[in-house]
Amino acid sequence: MRRTGFAFHEHCLWHDTGPCSVFDSPGAFVQPAPAAEHPETKRRLRNLLEMSGLIDDLIPLKGEPASERDLLRFHTADYLGRLAEMSERGYGDAGEHAPLRKDSYPIARRSTGQAIAAMEAVLSGHCDNAYALCRPPGHHAERDRGRGFCLLGNIPVAIMVMMERHPLGRVAVIDWDVHHGNGTQQAFWERDDVLTISIHHDNNYPQDSGSHDERGVDDGFGYNLNIPLPAGSGIGAYQATLEEVVIPALERYQPELIVVACGFDASAMDPLGCMLLNSRSYAQMTQALMEAANGLCDGRLVMIHEGGYSEGYVPFCGHAVIQTLCGSQVEARDPMNDEIARWGQQSLQDHQRWWIDKAAALVKSIR
C-alpha cells in the first residue's frame, strides 16, 4: 500500500453553472437543463469511494482557498477583479463557455487550493502520491479569462506555488482530458522548467488549438508537446501514445514531479467526448505513469481532476485511478468495462498511427 492523499472539499460541489445544458444558455429551442459540468460526476465519485471502502485507504487532505497573491502568479488582476464582481453579482460568464453564479469565485479559489494541498502533501513527503478532486476544473482557464467551464488555472497556480516553496526545477504535466489543455499550455509557453503534454481529440475544444506545431517559444520551444488524436481513438491508440510518446518524453526530460490533468471525458460513455476508453484503460495509464515516476522522481505523482461529464461512468474511471495510485485491493466492479473493451476498433488503427508518429518525432527536441 502506498500513502495516497485525497484532497476534497464539499464547497467545490456548490459551484453553480446554471441551466445551460451543453449550450451557453437556454432559450429559443434550447430547453433549460442541468449544465454538462455539474457536481454529480464528482459527488458520485466521492460516494463510490465511500461505498467500496477505498476511501479508508486514503489520507484525507483539505486545502485552504488559494490566496489572491498565489492566483496572481498566473492570472491578471483585472481578470480576478471581474471574476469576483460577477460572482458577487450572482451571474455571468468568465470568458467563453465558463458560466458562473453566486460565490463561484471563492469556490474556484477553494478548488485551486485542493490542487495546492495535493502537490504540497507529495513534495513535503506526507504522501507518496495524491489525487485532488477539484471543481470547477482548470485546464482551459487562461491568464485573463475563463474558458470551457474553467475559471482558475488550478494546475499552473499550484505548480508556481510549489516552485516557490520547494527546490523544484523541472515539472511535467500530462493532460489526458479529451479537450486540449490550452490554459496550462499558455502558462508555461515560454518556459523550459515545465514540460506540458496534452493528449486530446483533434480540434475539438478549444477549436484551432492543440496542433502538433504548437511547441512553445523562446526558452519554452520544444517543451510544449501536443498529441491530437482522431475521433474514435480507443484503448490501443492511447496505449501506443503513452508507450511511444509520453514515457519517452518523460525519460528525456527527467522531471522532479509529474502532474496529471486527469479528465475522464475520453471514456466511451462521455456525452462531450467521442473516444472509447474504459475504466481499466485509466488504471493502466496510471500504472504506466507510476512506473515512470518511480524511476524518474521517487514516485512523486499528483492527479488533478479535470473534465468528465458522465455522472454514471466518471466514478468508475476515478475509482480505478485512485485504487491504482494507492495499490489497494479494494475495487468497485465496473459493469461496462469488459463490454467497452470488446467494441470494434479498440486496437490501434492505421489512420491513428500517423498522428502518434508525428508527435513521437517531436520528442527528440526535449532536452
Residues contacting 160, CB < 8 A, separation 6+: 70, 73, 74, 187
Distances (CA, A) of 213 to 222, 230, 233: 10, 16, 21
Distance CA 228, CA 318 (A): 23
- The 3-state DSSP class for residue 108 equals helix
- Phi–psi pair at 172, nearest 5 degrees: -115, 135
Q: Are strands 99-101 and 91-93 parallel, antiparallel or unpaired?
A: antiparallel
Cell of 47: 460516494
What is the 8-class DSSP label of residue 345? Answer: T
CB 182 within 8 A of CB 209: yes
DSSP state string for 284-313: HHHHHHHHHHHHHSTT-EEEEE-----TTT
Query: Judging by beta carbons within 10 Å of its beta carbon (0-12, 13-18, 19+), is residue 59 exposed, middle or buried?
Result: middle
Supply the angle between the helices 104-123 and 154-165 in degrees, to the nearest 10: 40
Q: 131: which strand partners? A: 6, 303
Distance CA 121, CA 129 (A): 8
Distance CA 8, CA 283 (A): 21
CB 363 within 8 A of CB 250: no
Q: Does the active-site annotation cover 140? A: yes
Cell of 353: 498511427
Q: Which of 9, 11, 38, 140 is catalytic?
A: 140
What is the set of active-site residues?
A: 140
